[in-house]
Structure formats: structure tokens, C-alpha cells
């Protein structure tokens, strides 16, 4: 035990528990342009924390290397902030710790610090190094900041950088004259991105051309830099050449210019290439477009209504239609792809959503749809069910690669209806006597065309067995009245006490102003047999089946008394014999 105590004492000695402080690189502020005269432009973020050791330690000095192309004339000050909220931006809660204006051996130094170094990575303190850019900074020069373990001075312990030097992204000085670039193809904008892709669709292995348009939506002139501002920086399974370069400059306020890319796929498979556009836009330079496509023949679906294209996911607004009156709309499916389009839905055209309207496919399209220029049409019949707004969705499944299913929303309105009659929305199904119907009836308030008055929340409807139907003397049980909710009255607990065939129910308006209606016939079978009495719950009497524990206990007691009486008689006889 004595030696164990000595060992523990040695292991916990401050001499063995060395202070280990780590400098780590978190997510750096994004690469961004910076204008001359900008103040507190965030460039570098770093974190300090104590990985081991129990003694207090603090950062007393930090050096930051300026490794970009910017010179001392491009900046007026470099600032060090405590990034209290870990946001990588200077906010109101952050503290300015120091300002440097002079470089020595390519580094700025922040000294006289007393920044506590907390334990663990999660509790580490974050710092931001920002630059104040000179008003006369040279466009094109770059700011890149970096710090290593040797650049950090602490009051106690040893600093290491386990993941290497902490270095910022590149921040380039640029003038902003208000130019704003937008690149489009087929009148659709394509974002500049290093991770999003732009699908150029099908291009045959014999090759094809793609036309792109550059627009300037800003207030200043857009300059496309160099004799070849558009370059191809990457290809896969294709050759891509800019066969026609755009012109420059591009006028402000909507000026445009175009360029053409000739693409030649190597094999009948997917291909990719990347375009880079060097330009004077402040924050989209270069403009990067990652194009993907396929040289394998594929179908390409499109749908038109009244000779106008309707995009996948779009909405057609039809206007006002009388509720209860059927109407139709005709749509045409086109295939502009080089392979046959197969309509493979079941049903071939579906209506998964129908709100306040009933839809049917009156005329179905044919399949397959021929390649390149094939077409087929279909007709939808729709009947608004009641007043107010209504909507339905047309759903077409196919072998199209990127528009399957092709769905179109159709909406419209119907004017208020004038109720004149009742209508059965749901009739009772076959049932058994004395038992509540498994399917309870629903009755609606309708106009002369059968449209439901969905604004009705007051009409009371009374149910009764239609005279002369079913069994003589049968009565209707349950709550025989129901009040409309949005034009529909739902009964909940109706039943009939006698079996019989071809019952119908008559529904009347309690106030007597609406024409009554009658349900479809239904049969009522015999009442279910009464439940057998549970023998285990008998409170008296004898049972010849399973006696149960009470009877077994009583039987054992009786037998015990009999044995005792016999023993007493035997004892008396023995005494007499003696």
C-alpha cells in the first residue's frame, strides 16, 4: 500500500502533468472579395484550448503571418478580436484585443495580452483576425493570414498545432462598380456553383452545340476578362470547346451576350464538363458552371394545355365553374427525346388529390409515345362538388429520367349554391339486428344540379325506415337526427331491431323545405346470439364441470371431518375391547 501511495503521488505531481495547449483551425471565413476601404473584414479564425494540465495559463502574445500578395500599402490595420459567439464574424458581443499597423518579417504582432485558456476543445476560446483595407488598395491583390504553434506565446505550458498551421482562405481586393452577372440557358438562370450541377440533357454521340447567354442586371458595366473569358476547365467522357466567345463589355441594366459550347460525347453514356467565366462581377468571379448530360437516348416528356406548355409541378387555374355540372379539359403529352416515352402508371393518368371536386379520365392517352416528336392526348372530366374553391392533381408516370411523375395542379372556384334537396352521400351497408350499422349513412344538402352547399352548418336531417321496406314492425334505433357540417350530415349510431331484406332509409329535412331522399337497399340479418353466462362468476349452486378452488376447499374440509369422525369411533371400540 505504501508503494501505491507513492506511485499515485508521483503521477499527480505537477512536474508530470505538463501543460498542453492546442491551436486548431476551425471553419475559416468564406473566400470573399473585399473592397478598398473595407473595415473589419474577417480573414482568419483560430481556437486555443488546454488539452491537459491543471495549472492556469493564458495567451500573452500572438503573431499572424501575412502570406498573400497584398503589401503594406493595401491595408491600414490588422485587428484581433475575441469571437465570443463563435460566429466567424465581428458582432456586438466580441471584444477588440489589439490593433497592429506594422509588419516585422512579414508578420504582425499582438502583445500585452492576457487571454485565459480554458480546458477542453468544446470550451476553447475563438479569435478573429480582421483587416482594414486601405482606400487605395490594389485590385487583384490578396490577403491570406496564417498562424502556427510557434506564433502563440502562453504564460504556462507548451503550444502545439495538432492539425498543422492555421491558415485562412484567399480574400481578393476587388472594385465593385455595380455589375451583376447572370448566365442563362433556354431563358433559365444557372447559378454559379462548385457543387451544384446544370443538366444540359441529351446530346448524341455525333455531337451538338449548347448556347449560353450572359446578362448584366446590375448598374455598372460588366467586363469579361481576356480574349477567351469562357474556358473549359474539366471534361469527362466528352470533348467540350467554346466555339464562339462572348463579347465584352456587357451593358448595365439588362445587356446581354452569348457564347456557344460544342460538346462531343465519347460514348453513349453520361458526360460532364465545367465552364469558368472570368468577369468583373464583385462576388461571382469566376462564374463556374458544372454541366452534366447524357449521350444515351432517353425520352423527354412535356405536357401542354391549350397549346401552352405546363411545367412539371405547375398549376393551371381554370376560373369559375358551376358546382355539380361536369366539365372537361384536354391535355397533350409530347415526347421530344430520342427514345420512346412509356406511360407506365396504373392507372395511366391518376388524380391522387381531389378537394371539393370529382375527377375521371374520360379519354386515356396511348403509349408508347414515339421518339423525337411523338404526342398523345387525354381528356379529364371534372365536376365541382360544392361551392367555393376546389383543386385536383393530375399525375402521369413514365420512364422519363427526371420528370417522373409529371404532376400538374388544377384549381378553380364555384359560386354559392342554392340548396333544394337532400342527397345520399353514403348508404348503410348490410348489418345485423340490434347492432349499430358498421357503415353509418351520410347525407348532403344539394342544389338542383347535385352540388353540395358546403357553407351549410345548420340543417337538421331526420332518418326513418322507409314505409313498406324490410320487416314489418321494425324500428330504427339510435340518434335519428344529424346536423350538417360543411353541407354533410353524418349519422353515428343507427340500428334496426328486426332482421329483414331490402330495408331502405328515408331522410327528410326537419324544417321541411328540402326534398327528401332515400338510401340504397340493404339487408339486416339475425341478431347475434346472447353471450353465454360465465360459469366462473356463478354466485351459488353446484357445478358438475370444473369445480374451482372454493368447491375443492369445501370438499377437502368435508372429507377431513369424515376421517376425524371415523377415528373417534375406532378409538371407542378399542376402549371397550380393553
Specify the CATH number for the domain of residue 346: 2.60.40.10
pLDDT, position 11:
36
**Predicted confidence band of residue 549 (pLDDT cuts 50, 70, 90):** very low
Is 369 within 8 Å of 375 (Cβ atoms)? yes
Tell me the three cell numbers of residue 56. 492556469
Q: Is residue 4 included in any domain, yes or no?
A: no
Condensed to tens digits (0 to 9), the pLDDT of residues 288-346 reads 999 999 999 999 999 999 999 999 999 999 999 999 999 999 999 999 999 999 999 99
Shortest CA distance to 464 belongs to which of 525, 498, 507? Answer: 507
Judged against a pLDDT cut of 70, whether residue 139 lies above it is answered with yes
Give dist(CA 256, CA 250) in Å, integer. Answer: 6
For residue 138, the domain's CATH number is: 2.60.40
Q: Is residue 564 included in any domain, yes or no?
A: no
Is 521 within 8 Å of 514 (Cβ atoms)? no
Looking at the structure of the chain, the number of domains it has is: 4
pLDDT, position 55:
83
Clarify whether residues 474 and 347 are in a common domain: no
Condensed to tens digits (0 to 9), the pLDDT of residues 400-423 reads 988 999 999 999 999 988 999 999
Q: Is residue 450 included in any domain, yes or no?
A: yes
Shortest CA distance to 34 belongs to which of 176, 168, 129? Answer: 176
Judged against a pLDDT cut of 60, whether residue 554 lies above it is answered with no
Q: Is residue 262 included in any domain, yes or no?
A: yes
pLDDT, position 98:
96
Clarify whether residues 281 and 319 are in a common domain: no
Other Cβ atoms less than 10 A from the Cβ of 303: the count is 21
**Predicted confidence band of residue 557 (pLDDT cuts 50, 70, 90):** low
Give the end of a domain, one of 362, 393, 414. 414
pLDDT, position 558:
46
pLDDT, position 471:
94
pLDDT, position 18:
64
Judged against a pLDDT cut of 90, whether residue 542 lies above it is answered with no
Judged against a pLDDT cut of 50, whether residue 357 lies above it is answered with yes
Condensed to tens digits (0 to 9), the pLDDT of residues 205-224 reads 999 999 999 999 999 999 99
| Averaged pLDDT for residues 477-506 | 97
Q: Is residue 163 included in any domain, yes or no?
A: yes
Q: Is residue 27 included in any domain, yes or no?
A: yes
Q: Is 40 left (phi over 0), alpha (psi -120 to 50) or beta?
A: left
| Averaged pLDDT for residues 233-262 | 98
Q: Give me the percent of the chain exceeding a pLDDT of 70.
A: 89
Which residues does 168 contact at the CB level (< 8 Å), separation at least 6? Answer: 28, 29, 43, 44, 45, 129, 143, 144, 145, 146
Cα dist. 167→68, 246, 344 in Å?
Answer: 11, 37, 55
Shortest CA distance to 229 belongs to which of 180, 279, 172, 193? Answer: 279
Domain of 230 in residue numbering reads as 181-294
Give dist(CA 292, CA 269) in Å, integer. Answer: 11
Clarify whether residues 25 and 96 are in a common domain: yes
**Predicted confidence band of residue 552 (pLDDT cuts 50, 70, 90):** very low
Give dist(CA 464, CA 480) in Å, integer. Answer: 7
Condensed to tens digits (0 to 9), the pLDDT of residues 435-474 reads 999 999 999 999 998 889 988 999 999 999 999 999 999 9
pLDDT, position 533:
66
285 φ/ψ angles, rounded to the nearest 5 degrees: -140, 135
Judged against a pLDDT cut of 90, whether residue 530 lies above it is answered with no
Q: Is residue 328 included in any domain, yes or no?
A: yes
Clarify whether residues 37 and 166 are in a common domain: yes
Sign of CA dihedral 310, 313, 315, 321: positive
For residue 468, the domain's CATH number is: 2.60.40.3960
**Average pLDDT of the residues of the chain:** 90
Clarify whether residues 381 and 506 are in a common domain: no
Judged against a pLDDT cut of 50, whether residue 140 lies above it is answered with yes
| Averaged pLDDT for residues 233-241 | 98
Clarify whether residues 449 and 428 are in a common domain: yes
Give the end of a domain, one of 414, 435, 460. 414
pLDDT, position 52:
77
- 3-class DSSP assignment, residue 453: coil
Clarify whether residues 333 and 452 are in a common domain: no
pLDDT, position 570:
44
pLDDT, position 535:
55
Judged against a pLDDT cut of 60, whether residue 569 lies above it is answered with no
Q: Is residue 550 included in any domain, yes or no?
A: no
| Averaged pLDDT for residues 379-406 | 95
Clarify whether residues 409 and 430 are in a common domain: no
Judged against a pLDDT cut of 60, whether residue 17 lies above it is answered with no
Tell me the three cell numbers of residue 138. 490594389
Clarify whether residues 382 and 517 are in a common domain: no
Clarify whether residues 29 and 150 are in a common domain: yes
| Averaged pLDDT for residues 471-500 | 97
Judged against a pLDDT cut of 60, whether residue 575 lies above it is answered with no
Clarify whether residues 392 and 453 are in a common domain: no
Among 44-53, 64-73, 482-491, the least confident range: 44-53
Q: Is 259 exposed, middle or buried, given 0-12, 13-18 or 19+ CB atoms closer than 10 A?
A: buried
Give dist(CA 242, CA 239) in Å, integer. Answer: 10
| Averaged pLDDT for residues 113-120 | 95
Cα dist. 363→147, 373, 376, 411, 412 in Å?
Answer: 73, 21, 11, 20, 22
| Averaged pLDDT for residues 486-490 | 95
Give the end of a domain, one of 267, 294, 321. 294
Among 177-181, 358-362, 482-486, 544-548, the least confident range: 544-548
Clarify whether residues 483 and 345 are in a common domain: no
| Averaged pLDDT for residues 392-401 | 96
Among 54-58, 121-125, 259-263, 512-516, the least confident range: 54-58
Judged against a pLDDT cut of 90, whether residue 534 lies above it is answered with no
Judged against a pLDDT cut of 90, whether residue 7 lies above it is answered with no
Tell me the three cell numbers of residue 105. 518579417
Amino acid at each position: 500500500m505504501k508503494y501505491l501511495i507513492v506511485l499515485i503521488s508521483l503521477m499527480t505531481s505537477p512536474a508530470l502533468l505538463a501543460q498542453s495547449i492546442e491551436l486548431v483551425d476551425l471553419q475559416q471565413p468564406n473566400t470573399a472579395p473585399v473592397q478598398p476601404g473595407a473595415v473589419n473584414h474577417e480573414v482568419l479564425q483560430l481556437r486555443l484550448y488546454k488539452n491537459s494540465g491543471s495549472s492556469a495559463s493564458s495567451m500573452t502574445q500572438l503573431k499572424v503571418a501575412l502570406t498573400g500578395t497584398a503589401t503594406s500599402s493595401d491595408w491600414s490595420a490588422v485587428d484581433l478580436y475575441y469571437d465570443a459567439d463563435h460566429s466567424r464574424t465581428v458582432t456586438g458581443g466580441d471584444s477588440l484585443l489589439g490593433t497592429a499597423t506594422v509588419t516585422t518579417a512579414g508578420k504582425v504582432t499582438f502583445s500585452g495580452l492576457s487571454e485565459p485558456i480554458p480546458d477542453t476543445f468544446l470550451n476553447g476560446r475563438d479569435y478573429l483576425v480582421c483587416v482594414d483595407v486601405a482606400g487605395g488598395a490594389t485590385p487583384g491583390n490578396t490577403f491570406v493570414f496564417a498562424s502556427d504553434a510557434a506564433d502563440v506565446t502562453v504564460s504556462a505550458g507548451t503550444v502545439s498545432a495538432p492539425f498543422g498551421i492555421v491558415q485562412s482562405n484567399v480574400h481578393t481586393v476587388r472594385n465593385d462598380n455595380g455589375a451583376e452577372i447572370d448566365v442563362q440557358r433556354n431563358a433559365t438562370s444557372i447559378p454559379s456553383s462548385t457543387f451544384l450541377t446544370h443538366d444540359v440533357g441529351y446530346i448524341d454521340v455525333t455531337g451538338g452545340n449548347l448556347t449560353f447567354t450572359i446578362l448584366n442586371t446590375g448598374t455598372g458595366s460588366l467586363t469579361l476578362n481576356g480574349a477567351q473569358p469562357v474556358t473549359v476547365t474539366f471534361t469527362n467522357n466528352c470533348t467540350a470547346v467554346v466555339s464562339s466567345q462572348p463579347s465584352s463589355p456587357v451593358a448595365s441594366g439588362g445587356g446581354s451576350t452569348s457564347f456557344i459550347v460544342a460538346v462531343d460525347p465519347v460514348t453513349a453514356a453520361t458526360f460532364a464538363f465545367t465552364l469558368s467565366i472570368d468577369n468583373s462581377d464583385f462576388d461571382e468571379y469566376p462564374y463556374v458552371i458544372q454541366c452534366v448530360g447524357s449521350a444515351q437516348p432517353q425520352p423527354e416528356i412535356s405536357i401542354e394545355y391549350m397549346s401552352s406548355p405546363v411545367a412539371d409541378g405547375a398549376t393551371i387555374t381554370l376560373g369559375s365553374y358551376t358546382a355539380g355540372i361536369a366539365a372537361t379539359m384536354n391535355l397533350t403529352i409530347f415526347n421530344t427525346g430520342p427514345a420512346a416515352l412509356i406511360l407506365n402508371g396504373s392507372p395511366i393518368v391518376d388524380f391522387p388529390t381531389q378537394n371539393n371536386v370529382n375527377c375521371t379520365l374520360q379519354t386515356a392517352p396511348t403509349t408508347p409515345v414515339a421518339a423525337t416528336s411523338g404526342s398523345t392526348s387525354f381528356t379529364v372530366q371534372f365536376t365541382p362538388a360544392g361551392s367555393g374553391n376546389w383543386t385536383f392533381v393530375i399525375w402521369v408516370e413514365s420512364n422519363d429520367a427526371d420528370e417522373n411523375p409529371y404532376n400538374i395542379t388544377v384549381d378553380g372556384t364555384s359560386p354559392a349554391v342554392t340548396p333544394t334537396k337532400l342527397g345520399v352521400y353514403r348508404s348503410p351497408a348490410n348489418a345485423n339486428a340490434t347492432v349499430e350499422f358498421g357503415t353509418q349513412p351520410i347525407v348532403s344538402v344539394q342544389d338542383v344540379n347535385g352540388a353540395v352547399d358546403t357553407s351549410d352548418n345548420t340543417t337538421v336531417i331526420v332518418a326513418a325506415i322507409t314505409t313498406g321496406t324490410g320487416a314489418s314492425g321494425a324500428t330504427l334505433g339510435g340518434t335519428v337526427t344529424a346536423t350538417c357540417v360543411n353541407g354533410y350530415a353524418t349519422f353515428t349510431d343507427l340500428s334496426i331491431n328486426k332482421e329483414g331484406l331490402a330495408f331502405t332509409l328515408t331522410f327528410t329535412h326537419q324544417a321541411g323545405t328540402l326534398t327528401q331522399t332515400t338510401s340504397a337497399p340493404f339487408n339486416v340479418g339475425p341478431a347475434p346470439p346472447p353471450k353465454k353466462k360465465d360459469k366462473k362468476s356463478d354466485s351459488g349452486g353446484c357445478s358438475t364441470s370444473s369445480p374451482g378452488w372454493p368447491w375443492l376447499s369445501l370438499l377437502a374440509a368435508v372429507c377431513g371431518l369424515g376421517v376425524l369422525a371415523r377415528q373417534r369411533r375406532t378409538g371407542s371400540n378399542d376402549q371397550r375391547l380393553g
